[in-house]
Structure 1
C-alpha cells in the first residue's frame, strides 16, 4: 500500500525511471565488458594451457626418440654370431657407459628371453627370464624396435618402460635383444615434468591411452588406472586431441588441454582451474559494483529535487482544468512552464471547444445516417427499445415487400416467419440482456410477399452512457448463397465418393497441419482405425526423405511436390515406403490448404534393392563380384595410412576344378563352388571381404590383419579346401587351392598392382606343385 502511494507521484516515477535507466545501462556495459574480458581471458588461458601441453608432449617425444635412436645405433654394432654374443655379453655391456646417462638400466637378453648382461651390475637382473614380458615377445616376433607399455620391473617393483631393440647375426637371424629401462620415477624421463605448475594450482598429468597414469602433478600417483571419469579424458584415450573447458572429478570447473604423443600411445593432460584463470575478471566485477552503488546514492537526491521543480506547473494546470469542468472558470486554462505543459493546456481548450460543436451536429449526423442507409445494398432497420420499427431503408422494403409507412410502428418480429419466430424472440432477448450482438439466420416474410426469404440478421444496441436509445438491425438476403452452398455440398459429396474408392491415400490439412479431410485409403497410412479429422497429421506420422525428417514448415514453405519417395512412420510403429505428392491450394491466403496423395511404393523399392544386390553379388555363390571386390580394395587402400596394423590381400585359385565339371557335370561343379564359398565366409571375420572374381578364382581382403595372422588363415583355408569332398554317383570329388598372399602398403595406390602381386603368388604356388600358400613380399620389403 505504501509503495503504491509512493509510485502514484509522477516525480517518484520519473526518479525511479532515471535510476533504473542508469543502473540498467551500467549493468549492460559491465556485462558486455565482463563477457569480452572473460572471453579474452578464456582464449589466453586455453592458449597457455595448450602450449604447455604441446611443449611437454614434444619434449617427452624427443627424449624417447633420442633413447630409441641411441639403442638402435648401439645394436647395429653388436652384429655377431649367437655363440660369440653369449660369451662376450658382459664385456660388451661394460663398454656401453654412454647409455648410463640415458637409461636407469641397460640389459642384454638372449634369444630365449634370459638376461645375460646388465649395466650397472648392481641391478642383479642377470639370469632373470623376461620372455613373458610383452616388450620381448612383441619385439622378437616383429623383429623391430619398440617402446613398451609401462610395467612393474623385477628390480624393486619400480614402474618403468623398456626401449627394446632386436639383435641379429650376420645372416639376419635373431640372436637376442638390447634393452634400456627407464624408471618413471627417475630423472631420465618424467620426473622433471610432473613438478611443472600452471599458475598456482594447475598441474600436468601423463596418461597412456589404455588409462594408466604415468605421472600426476596433483597427487603424485604413478602406475594407477585413471580415476577421473571426465568425458574429455575418455575421448583422449581414443585419440582425441584439443583444449576445452570441462569439470574435474570433484566438480570443479577447469581448462583441460590434451596433447597426444607421437612416439608412444600416451597423452599429456594440462589442467588449470577456471577460478584461478578468470580471477582478474572477478576482481573487476566487484570493483564495478561498488562504484555503481556510490553513483546511485548521488543521483537519487539530485533527481528528486530537479523533477519536483519541473512538475510544479503541472499541478497548477490540474487545478485550472478542474475549475473549468465544474463551471467555476469560463476562461481558457493556461500556465507558464515547459512547452509540453503548454501543449496540454492548448489541447484541453481545443477539446472543450470541439465538444460544443459536436453537440450541435448530432441532428445533422442523424439525417446523414438516414440518407446514407438508403443507398446501402443491405437492409437496415432502426427500432426503439420495445422493438417497434422507426426507420427502414429501401433494400429492407424490397425484402419484405412493404414500405416504411406500412412498417412504421409495427413490431420487428412480425416480419419473421411463424415457424422461426419463437426461437428468434428468445435469442434476441437473451442477447440484449447480456448486452451482446444478436446474430441469426432465419426466414423473413411480409404479409403480401410470396415465398419466404432466407436472411442473415445482426442486431446491436444503440445506447449512450446515460440510456439505451433502441436497436439497429442489419439484414442480408442469402437465398442465392444458400443455393450455391447446396450445389457445393453436392459436388463435395461426389468428390468424397470418388476419393473413398481410390487406392491412394488422400488427405487435406490446413496451414497448422490439422487434418480437414482423409479418405479411407489414408487410414492405413495414419495407423490404427479412428477419427482423424481435427488431429495434426505431423503428430500422427513422421516423414523422412534421405535420412532427413521433413517438418511441417518444410511442406508449408516449399513448392508443390510431384512423386517424392519418402519413408512414413505412424504412431503404431508401421513403416511405409511412399510415393508422396503434395499441392498447395490457395497458397499464401488465410484459408490455404495442403493436399497430400500417398501411394504405397514398397514393391518398387524392393525391386530396386534386388537389382542393386544383383549388380554387386555373384548369383551362384552369393559372394561379392569382381566390381564390388575392386571397390572394397580401393577403400582398404585409402584407409591404410590411418591403420596401425597392415592389411592383407589373398587370391585363391582352385586346382583340378575342371575334372569336377567335366566328369561330375556342371551341377556338381556349382555345388562344389557353393560349399567352398561357405567355407571361405566361415573362415574369416565379419569385417573381411570375400568375393568370387570369376570361374574358380576367389579373392579375400583382410583389413588390419597383419601378415602373421593372414598366413595362418591362408593355411587353414588351404587345409579346409583340401578336406572338402563331395560324393557323386559312387565317386569322391575334391579340389585343392593355390593361394597367393601379399601385404598392402600405405604407398600402394593402384589396386591392379596389389592384385598382380597376389596373383603372382597364386601362380608361383601352382608352379611349385599346387595346394600351397605363397607369400609375395611388397616392393618396399
Structure 2
C-alpha cells in the first residue's frame, strides 16, 4: 500500500511544459473551476441567509433571553451539585478511613507510622490527616505522606477535632487560613465503637484550590462578559476567574455587591436556585448546602442580548424549506461545473484497476510510462490540469517508493538470515516470521514454522504435565509485567528439549500480547545444566538466580587484588570500575497488599530486568532482601552514572499488576568508583550503601553519586568500624 504525502513536494509542481499552468499553481488565487463554484456557493448562501434573516427577524420573540437565563441557571445548579458531590465524596473517603482505625491502633504508644502505612491511599486524596483520641490527645498528624509533630496542628483545626469529639457527628469546617496558598477546608468524622460510643475522631484537610475541591479550572473559561464565582455566606470569594480575587470580599465585585447585601438583609441564602437582573447584570445563584457556599454566575445583560436573533419554531419549517431549495439549485450547478472532476475520478479508478492487474501478473514491477498509456486524461483549464499533472508524477514517485520498500524488505531479510540470536514474530498466538538462527535452534524450516501455533513449540514441564501450563505462565507474565523476561523449554522438531532465555515485547504497548509480539531467544541449555551443579547453587541466590553476596564479594575482591597488583607493577591506575548499590522502593507495599508470593515474583522479574540491562558490561548480585549490587569493571564514573540512570528509568517504567491492582515500583541507586587503593570490599560496599541512603533521603527513585570527599569519610568510618 502506498501512503500519499500530506504535503506535495515541489517537484510535483514544477515538472510541466505549460508555463502558464505552472504560474497558476504557484499563485495563491484559486483556479477557474473553484472560483466558479465559490461564486455559486456564495450566491446561494447570501440568498438563503437573506430569506432566513427576514423570516427569523419577523417572528423572533423575547423568549430567547429567557432561554439563555434558564440555561445559565442550569449551569450554575450543575456546578453547585458538582461541588456538593465533591464534598460528599470527601466525607465518604474519610468515613472509609475511619472504619480502618481500630481501638487497638488508638491505644498504641506510637501509632503514627502504623496509620501512615494503613492510610497511604487516603493520604493521596487529602493533603493532611489527623487522628485524635476521646480525651483530645492528637495521636497522628500526617501531612503530605509524612508524619508531622502534633504541636504543628493549627488551633482552628484542633477546635474542629474537639467539636467532633463533643458533638459526635461529622463536620465540614469554614475557611481556614488567610492566604490563598494556605487556605484549606477540614472534614472531620467521629470514630465510633460498640453501640455508637465515640472513641476518637479523624480529620482530613484539603487545600481550597486543590483538584479535589475548588481547582482554578472550575472558573474557566474566563470571559469579560461572564464570571463564575464561589463564595461563602460571609461574602468571602473562594473561586474566581481572576486569581488575585480569591479570598477577596464580594462587596468589591461589580454587579454582585448590592445583590449580596440584599440577600443578607433577607436572612441569607435561600435553599433554591434563583436569578435576577440588577445594574445591567444577569445573576444566577445556587446554594451548596453542606459547607453553606453559593455558586454565582454574573453575566453582562447587554452582551447576552446582543447576538440573539431568536429561535422561532413556528417558521422553522418555512426557513428550512427555503434553504433546502436554494441549496438544491446550488448543488445542481456545482455538479454540472464539477463534471471534469467526475471524469478524472473515473480515469483514476481505471488506472488503479490496471495497476492491480499488472501487479498480479508480473509481481511488484510497474511501468514508468503507465501514466502516459492509461487512456485519455480529461482536460479542463485550472484544477483538472493540475491534478492530472500531479497524478502522472505520483505514478513516477510510486515507482521510487516501491524500489525503496523492496530495499527495506531485502535488508530485513538479511537481518533475519544473519542475526546471531533467534528472532520470532508472533501474531494471534501463531508464528509469523522466524530468523534463520531461530530455525536452526528449533530444527524447522521457515515454511514449517510459519503459522504454526505458538503453544505447539512449548515443551512439557520437567516434572511432567501439559505444555499449556508453561504457555499460560508466559501469558500471565505479560498480564502482570507487560513483557516477558525469563526462561522456558521449547520442543525441537526431533523431540528434544531446548531451554531458551527469552525476551518478549509487544509490538504495540497498548495492544494485548496475542495481537503481536517480538521474541528474542538465546540458547541457555548449557547454562541451565551448569546451574544444576552444587557449586553453582553455592554461589547463586535461589530465588533470583543472581550471584549471592558471598560470590559477589569474592569477585569484587579478586578485581581489587588484580588491579592493585597492576598498579604496583606500574601497569595502570587504581581505577577498577564502578559499583552500583540498588535498594527497591515500595516493594513492601506489594508484599503487604498482594502477598509474599507476588513480592517474590516481583523480585524475580527485577533480577531479570537488572541482568538484561548490565550483563554485557558487568555482573549483578542480590545482597539480600530487596537490595542488589552491580559491578561494572573498567567503567568510568560518568558512564556508571548513565548506566544507573538507565536502570532507574527501566524499573520506574515497569508497573506490575497483581490481584487486579497496579503497583508502582522504584529504585534508589548509589554509585561509587571502585578504587584498588582502598583494598577492602567492605569499604566499597559501605560507600555504595551510603550513596544509596542519600538517594533514599533525597526522595527515592533517584541516582546519587558519592562525591570524593564523602567517599573518603565513608572509608575512614568503615575502617574504624572494622577494628
- With normalisation by structure 1, the TM-score equals 0.29
Q: Which has the higher contact order (CA 8 A, sep 6+)?
A: 2
- With normalisation by structure 2, the TM-score equals 0.31
Which structure has greater strand proportion? Answer: 1
